[in-house]
Structure 1
Amino acid sequence: MQAIEITQPGAADVLRLTSRPIPRPGPGEVLIKVAASGVNRPDVFQRLGSYAPPPGASDLPGLEVAGVLVEGDFGDENPFALKQGDEVCALLAGGGYAEYAVAPLLQCLPVPKSLTLLEAAALPENYFTVWSNVFDRGRLGTTAEGTPESLLVQGGSSGIGVTAIQLAHALGHPVFATAGNADKCAACEKLGAHAINYREQDFADVVKKLTGGRGVDVILDMVAGNYVSRELELLTDDGRLVFIATLGGKLVEIDAALIMRRRLTLTGSTLRARSVPFKAALARQLHAHVWPLLESGKVKPIIYKLFPAGDAAKAHALMESSEHIGKIMLEW
């Protein structure tokens, strides 16, 4: 099969189209003939040498694919009754930049009705991440008064960002989002958020004014760094700050007394190294709560640009430019 490998840590041009043996599925695993692969920020970190695959995972980058089930172990634990020949999308721990990929059966989901394989390949990494962090860890729900809680998304035009905005908005939550230019802000507004250009305005001041001083219940933060002190001030009492990346720096100074006084929760997670049972539980939640929204058109994958798989280096260069709005994809 053809695959994209990282020849050595470095810039985007270290990605190379190569030939590899087709991987073989083990117990509880299936082989997928890949139609499309998603490009994600962790792929860039892996290419740079700062995010190694978990033990046992493929050295090839790629955390999500969609395609057709070729063979594998379709044993007793098969919650979606998947079988050979079915179209699926899957979350991987690695190996997605290839014509064939192995995935745990329990991390495969049927392609939502009305979506293409390309669109389905844009789902797993972002939707698993958002559901786990916003709705599980962040517990976005209802206030004590019974009204929908509010969400602030830092980096609203990213793949994660457009997913979080859409899901929260579709479920009735007020959403705010930051973005870096007028076009990105317009895209966030179109998806249901009140957008703030962080280059021109202080997001905390704007959200405070828009909420009459109340602030927000949950913040999904990909930045950290100097954002954190303002985020803590912006949270409501009992608010939750959820970290999923540290693009602005991992070391911060916090006011512990403020956290105690306001009963704030700081949490966060990474997904790649979590266990198959953990990811399987997320897959079942997505199928129950999010797949109907996708099939009804209330939420949808936002694809910014599609590259032939051989142009993976160009896809990574675009990712690092941060010019995109939504997903960057590779097609096989």
Structure 2
Amino acid sequence: MDKIAFLILSFSHKVLIEGKKRKKLKDIFASMGVGIFVEVIFILIIMSKSEVTSTGEFVHITHLTSNSEKLIGSCLKDVERDVNIPKLMQAVIVDTQTKKLVLSDNIPTPELRSQEVLKQNQKLNFTKKKKGVNRADLMQAAGKYPPPPGASEIIGLEISGVIVRVHKDCTHKEALKVGTKVMALLSGGGYAQYVSVHESCVVPLPHIKDTGYIHTNIFIFFLLNNILYIYTYTCMCTYISRKKKKNVYVYIKKKSEYDEWTVGAAIPEAFITAYQILFWYGKANGVNEGEEVGEEKTAVVDQNQAKSNKVVLIHAAASGVGTTLVQYCREFGLDAFVTVGSDDKKQFCIQLGAKGGVVFVCLFFFLRERRGGGINKDFNKALLEMYPKGANIVLDCVGQSYFKKNIDAIAEDGRWVVYGFLSGSVLENSTAFDMAFLLRKRITFIGTTLRVRSHQYKQLLIRNFQRDIIPLLESGKIKPIISKVFSIKHAQQAHDFVNASENVGKVLLLWQNKISHL
């Protein structure tokens, strides 16, 4: 009666997902965003007969994925000299009829302007966006966020790649030679085979030995009335995780790493934006100031100065910018309090270094019931319980739905930086809005967007970023969080994936084919 039953699932087996739909297991894993592709899924469930009608006693999952797909090695050899660049290139455009992203082969290759370099893309970066809200790439694809004057009409704000041509007027020719591996911050044009970018916005790829945290899905398997149920939730998997859910044990071991192109594509927009809003505007480092650029003074980051602005409220903290901000706070001695969209994202951020947080939406009924999650109390009340004086810095990409709660949560002399409007920019009941809190709490209220800034501004920002943050990247103290990599041919799927709020951190686009030169 104590016989042990072994159940081995292969990709050809059919299972019930939440008791509703039958799918092939390979299709299930393909839809869950577990990596470039699943190399091996081996599930071993051991149970005693007495427990068959309740739950499995032990679940052991070994989940291995391949390394990020390697780019053709000869590609770099091809660009060690100034090659003849084709007049037409591949780029992602919005189909005028379907309004979907498609890959076109007939887009004019950009011409170099003064002080620009031409780069051949290896990876393109796409910034994670919460479900149903407006980040730059999705907004531009929908026709709601046009590029600034003079910028490319093609979507994409950051890339990693190889320099294939340098304009004669460039002042940093020694550092930006043809064949140099670089990453860049763009005002547009990233979803293309080639992109021209001002030299001030180009950064050599950092030498990162540890390629970073890998975000993936954990699968919970259990038996109920002889039916196999599968649930998935997200976690950070650079370690072996052991969870217990009503006598169901889950073990995950994942081996995966990303190459330098992937890491480089995940850095510019998220890491530089996070640096700007936390240190330049949030003044998280104290009162030191450096060089002046127009109306902006740069912050000289000093870990010993991070004391007066110690508590940082980070909204949408599981995003690319958010996960970066949590790591900055951890490394510079700041307390990060986060708002996120699920219990799993909250735990992820806490593992990353956050001191506390609140879930504003719970997506999965099963997890809500069994994890004590649900829709949590107001974040302002939760934050004030931990920090009675409030948050010294509020980093807000949400907008109107959090506005009144931010007023409650922010401390006296606090700095409130708005860099996005995920819930909209128009305040509800705005006719009754009272601005007296700005005086009463002596609030500094700042709005910013990096895309439209001048080359001079970006140059100094990037230089300060290189000084203060690149060493932390190269030492492995902070790392880009990468959720999933899509082929450039599947750019629309990447948008859909992000719009569905299925990722934590960055989603990337990969050029998989070798680019030939004429």
TM-score, scaled to structure 1: 0.94
Amino acid in the other structure paired with 2:92: I
* Structure 2 residue 405 is the aligned partner of structure 1 residue 230: yes
Aligned to 2:417: 242
Partner of 2:120, secondary structure, is strand
Q: Which of 108, 116, 119 is the matching residue for 1:29? A: 116
Q: Which runs of 5+ in 1 are unaligned?
A: none
Pairs within 5 Å for 1:49-60:
49-60=143-154
Contact 1:153 1:178 in 2 (8 A): yes
Q: Which of 164, 167, 172 is the matching residue for 2:333? A: 172
Comparing both structures, which one devotes a greater share of its residues to strand? 2
Provide the C-alpha distance between the structure 1 equivalents of 2:309 and 2:474, rounded to a whole number of angstroms: 23
Q: Which of 482, 495, 501 is the matching residue for 1:322? A: 501
Provide the C-alpha distance between the structure 2 equivalents of 1:255 and 1:39, rounded to a whole number of angstroms: 38
Give the superposed CA RMSD.
2.0
Contact 1:64 1:124 in 2 (8 A): yes
Q: Which of 295, 299, 316 is the matching residue for 1:155? A: 316
Provide the C-alpha distance between the structure 1 equivalents of 2:110 and 2:508, rounded to a whole number of angstroms: 22
* Shift in CA distance, 69/266, structure 1 to aligned 2, threshold 3 Å: same
Pairs within 5 Å for 1:11-160:
14-19=100-105, 20-40=107-127, 41-73=135-167, 75=169, 77-78=171-172, 81-114=175-208, 116-142=260-286, 146=307, 149-160=310-321
Provide the C-alpha distance between the structure 1 equivalents of 2:470 and 2:352, rounded to a whole number of angstroms: 18
Aligned to 1:276: 455
Bigger Cα displacement from structure 2, 154-163 vs 70-79: 70-79
* Shift in CA distance, 229/306, structure 1 to aligned 2, threshold 3 Å: same
Bigger Cα displacement from structure 2, 251-260 vs 140-149: 140-149
* Shift in CA distance, 37/176, structure 1 to aligned 2, threshold 3 Å: same
Amino acid in the other structure paired with 1:91: L
Partner of 1:329, secondary structure, is strand
* Structure 2 residue 2 is the aligned partner of structure 1 residue 2: no
Partner of 2:321, secondary structure, is helix
* Rg (Cα) greater in structure: 2
Q: Deviations over 1:122-141 (max 9, x none)?
A: 11111221122221112112
Q: How far is 1:234 from its partner? A: 1.2
Amino acid in the other structure paired with 1:88: V
Q: How far is 1:177 from its partner? A: 0.7
Contact 1:5 1:18 in 2 (8 A): yes
Q: How far is 1:6 from its partner? A: 1.5
Bigger Cα displacement from structure 2, 273-282 vs 71-80: 71-80
Aligned to 1:295: 474
Q: How far is 1:55 from its partner? A: 1.4
Provide the C-alpha distance between the structure 1 equivalents of 2:326 and 2:461, rounded to a whole number of angstroms: 19
Q: How far is 1:7 from its partner? A: 2.4
Comparing both structures, which one devotes a greater share of its residues to helix? 1
TM-score, scaled to structure 2: 0.61
Provide the C-alpha distance between the structure 1 equivalents of 2:413 and 2:486, rounded to a whole number of angstroms: 44
Q: How far is 1:258 from its partner? A: 1.8
Q: Deviations over 1:184-214 (max 9, x none)?
A: 1111111111222123221111110111x11
Q: Deviations over 1:131-180 (max 9, x none)?
A: 22221112112499945521110001011111111112111111111111
Provide the C-alpha distance between the structure 2 equivalents of 1:132 and 1:219, rounded to a whole number of angstroms: 13
Q: Deviations over 1:31-78 (max 9, x none)?
A: 111100111231100011100011121111010000111111375643
Q: How far is 1:82 from its partner? A: 2.5
Provide the C-alpha distance between the structure 2 equivalents of 1:230 and 1:166, rounded to a whole number of angstroms: 24
Q: How far is 1:10 from its partner? A: 7.0
Partner of 2:123, secondary structure, is strand
Q: How far is 1:80 from its partner? A: 8.4
Aligned to 2:426: 251
* Shift in CA distance, 148/134, structure 1 to aligned 2, threshold 3 Å: closer
Partner of 1:299, secondary structure, is coil
Aligned to 2:385: 209
Amino acid in the other structure paired with 1:257: A
* Shift in CA distance, 177/81, structure 1 to aligned 2, threshold 3 Å: same
Amino acid in the other structure paired with 1:210: M
Q: Percent identity, please.
A: 35
Amino acid in the other structure paired with 1:234: A
Amino acid in the other structure paired with 1:230: K
Bigger Cα displacement from structure 2, 231-240 vs 1-10: 1-10
Contact 2:399 2:425 in 1 (8 A): yes
Q: How far is 1:226 from its partner? A: 2.7
Partner of 2:389, secondary structure, is coil
Aligned length: 329
* Structure 2 residue 352 is the aligned partner of structure 1 residue 191: yes
Amino acid in the other structure paired with 1:2: Q
Q: How far is 1:9 from its partner? A: 8.6
Contact 2:116 2:170 in 1 (8 A): no
Contact 2:399 2:424 in 1 (8 A): yes
Q: Which runs of 5+ in 2 are unaligned?
A: 1-88, 128-134, 212-259, 288-304, 361-374, 512-518
Partner of 1:251, secondary structure, is coil
Contact 1:42 1:51 in 2 (8 A): yes
